[in-house]
Structure 1
Amino acid sequence: MTDTVTVLIVEDETDLADTYAIWLEQEEYEVWTAYSGDEALSKLEPAIDVILLDRRMPNIPGDVVLKKAREREGAYQISMLTAVEPNADIFDLPFDEYLTKPVTRTEVLDAVERLVVRDSIEDDLNELFQLASKHSTLATQSNDDIERTQRKIQEEIQDQHETIQSKIQRLDDPEDYFSVIEEPPATYDSHDAP
């Protein structure tokens, strides 16, 4: 890895948290652990890239930690990693991924990789939007310097587009993530329910 990715594991079962930490450290992630919601909140800082968060913890549950993390400074990618089966209550939870225990080493590593890629795609999209804004700003002007600059911006837009496409292909199944953007799911009709 070129840049070290920092992962915070929030899990009250210490053996489980330590196991996840070993898996991630073997892949050269920097790993922090918190064994309670209180400890997690005290460790939240912008240096953290990914949070693996248990929902069911004594004192401060993961749902509360999740909401408080979203209020803090930091662009965290957060995966719930929990034995709690998802139900309708997840609608109000601002997580990026949801894994249900038990999980394998591969599932944890894949989830962290997906979150890292998705975060970098977000940065790349912001850069692409900035380039597009520059291009459209110069579109109303014309002279040799501006035309050269526009060509350079167009090349950078193309390069950025290719970078984004390449990262999207690194996701396990990019169609699962982006098909909802292209074609939103059909409206649920209660008459269709069994």
Structure 2
Amino acid sequence: MDVVLRHWSAFTDGMTTTLELTALSFAGALLIGIVVAAMRVSPVPVLRGVGTVYVESFQNTPLLVLLVLFVFGLPEVGVIFPLFTTAVIAIALYEAAYIAEAVRSGINTVPVGQAEAARAIGLGFGQSLRLVILPQALRAVVQPIGNILIALTMNTSLAAAVGVVDLTAAANRVNLLEAQPIPVFVGAGLGYMAVCALVGLLTNLIERKVAIVR
């Protein structure tokens, strides 16, 4: 692993970019996913339809295809963002479809009586969802969302294909200089493994803390 130590700064810079890409993409995906999940359970047919089309479209499109379309396609129609920002947007939109389904499954676990009680005290659909249903639903799907975050972390490696210098891209550059793919990519793999293990640990801790006893 001497090659990793010799290029330690390149690996740490790549890891920093990967962590930033992961954190920002997940924040965006969580926000969008909750909105889409709300649309999926809305009493308004048009909103349900839009939510369904969103989920089906993004779940059935490879992330790499989305990254290529966003990075090279958006400038063609006059929409230009920095490369890193474009990658964040593409990954967030993609992962939001999976978070939406996880949140929708959590909503389905909330007893119907909760919604009926909310309506009985005069709360509308939006208020019931925001104040009563979603808080319980999110507590019920901590583990699934944690699993999606782990998948998102690994999926960020695809950003290297469109020019983002993350951990994968940094490892590839080092390998081009050193021609030692095994130690270089084992080192990068251990980096991803460490991040995913930490996410799993935090997810388990949060799940135990907020678990709903029924």
TM-score band w.r.t. shorter chain: 0.3 to 0.5
Task: Give the structure-2-normalised TM-score.
Answer: 0.36
Q: TM-score, normalised by structure 1?
A: 0.38
The structure with the greater share of residues assigned to strand is 1
